[in-house]
Amino acid sequence: MEEARWFGRFWERLAEHIAQAGFRPCVGSIPVGNPPGSIDEIRAKLDAFVPALRAAKRWNGAWSYHSYSIEYSTDPAVEHWYSLRYRIFYEFLRERYPDLANLPMILTEGGIDRAGNPNTDGWRARGDAAKFQKWLLWYDSELKKDPYIIGVTLFQIGNPSGWWSFDVEPIAQWLADVIANRPRSLRNPVLNGDFELGFMNVSGETVANGWAMWDGGVVNPLWPGSAHFWQVAGAPGSAQRIIGGQIAGQSFRGGVYQVVPVVPGVPYRLELDYLSAGTNDTGAGQEFRIGYDLSGGTDPMNPDIVWLVSASAPSGIWQHVDTVLMPTSEWLTLWTWSGIYWPIATTYLDVDNIALWALPTLRGRVTLSDYAGDTRCQSVQVQIRGGNGVVAWQGELPLSVDGEFEVVYEANLPEGVYDVAIRGTHWLQRVVNGVLLPGGMVDVALFNGDIDGDNEVTLFDFGALVQAFGSVPGDANWNPNADLDGDGEVSLFDFGVLVRNFGRVGEE
């Protein structure tokens, strides 16, 4: 307990020094699993830390904790002691110190860790990308339930050698898309599909980050061997090579695969480039295959795999594959396969530029005029109307960081020409006529100032702004729709927005 009291006094003084230097303090940086002990022991140590928390609040700061899961659990009752351990802290604050119950917390480290070994305890050493992605989406959904959590910084990116098993570089693009809330039609869920995000050494073989290798072993028992994996020149940049047989007298098969997240019932476009090489002797028993498994399984021998490429002769040059598929589950496996029975030539398959794109019914972009806030905090109401004006589809859609949205896929919406109406929470409606669906695109700018949502900017909106004037979140008269510019307060700047658009009427 004396250490806990010293820790509290230390951070109380440090918070003051940080504030005097012109910064907002973030106190604690509490390591994962701490404070240790029973619930009573944890609470006693937190009680000793309260002076530091009060200092953080006094200087408009926050506190921090390191949040890790050990076994990828998605059970909140289990993670209450691990990645969600901070909830124990806030239960105590709500009970004993309610004035601190909403003090912001930053999870300054997070992810998967067993005991801190750089090479054996991170997510890459004890799982794969698909498993980690699935856990991160669950983790994100839990963090969003706690408004006092500002966010988490995943450990780590940028040090693939020193902390290899923790490195999130292979899923960096996926993370960026999730954080930006980009529409699925603009996300490629294939990790390192262009093979430009590096390769790793796996048992002496060179395998692209984000991909797993499989080795089917010997094909012809007279010529034993094992598959080999190289990094080679692609189309362009780098590519993954799978060597399925060698002229030196080895007969084997193998490949790389990846399990990717998809939306069942939504069509996807799959594109890739490949080059196969070997002998033109069709009796050599060469095997060049590229395909997908709708079940998301990890068995290359699954008879249900759809092979888009299945050849016994080499292509000799780069070839392009472009097809549309329909997922039936939340996961889909991409497969490659190279092999030979009679090793009369070195047989290999190179793959590059593997991309998977959801095909939306409608994709759009909006410009929210006079708005400086985060567009990810906004949504738009979208109506798709038939030629007779009847609403064929409607819904509320989230926006990306760039104002993008999509209607993912509506199987019951026939191909044809439609009118699309779009409006924001306090923006006037715009209607785009003659949009061909599916696959249409709209791009509109919306006028700001419709606080009461009646699709025009009038004295009623002025009255609503007056009622909320001077307020910030948490105030009794706070109205988020009156914060027209998104700066977190209702002020003269919002009044200026309303004046500029006063009298405007939205389209019907």
Per-residue pLDDT, 2: 85
Per-residue pLDDT, 411: 77
CB–CB of 285/347 below 8 Å?
A: no
How far is it, in rounded angstroms, from Cα 229 to Cα 243? 6
Per-residue pLDDT, 326: 96
Residue whose C-alpha is closest to residue 352's, from 174, 187, 193, 171: 193
Ranges in the chain annotated CATH 3.20.20.80 = 2-167
Per-residue pLDDT, 410: 82
Per-residue pLDDT, 160: 79
CATH number for 199-358: choose from 3.30.300.30, 2.60.120.260, 1.20.58.2240, 3.40.228.10: 2.60.120.260
Which CATH class for the 2-167 domain? Answer: alpha beta
Per-residue pLDDT, 250: 83
How far is it, in rounded angstroms, from Cα 21 to Cα 39? 36
Ranges in the chain annotated CATH 2.60.120.260 = 199-358
pLDDT in tens, the chain (508 residues): 888 899 999 999 999 999 999 999 999 999 988 899 999 999 999 999 999 999 999 999 999 999 999 999 999 999 999 999 999 999 999 999 999 999 999 999 999 999 999 999 999 999 888 899 999 999 999 999 999 999 999 999 988 788 999 999 889 989 999 999 998 888 899 999 999 988 988 889 999 999 999 999 888 888 888 889 999 999 999 999 999 887 777 888 999 999 999 999 999 999 999 999 999 888 899 999 999 999 999 999 999 999 999 999 999 999 999 999 999 999 999 999 999 999 888 899 999 999 999 999 999 999 999 999 999 989 999 999 998 889 999 999 999 999 999 998 887 899 999 999 999 999 999 999 999 999 999 999 999 999 999 999 999 999 999 999 999 888 899 999 999 999 999 999 999 999 999 999 999 9
Based on the number of CB atoms within 10 Å of its own CB, is 447 exposed (0-12), middle (13-18) or buried (19 or more)?
buried
What's the CATH code, domain 362-501?
2.60.40.4130
How far is it, in rounded angstroms, from Cα 239 to Cα 250? 23
Ranges in the chain annotated CATH 2.60.40.4130 = 362-501
How far is it, in rounded angstroms, from Cα 348 to Cα 228? 9
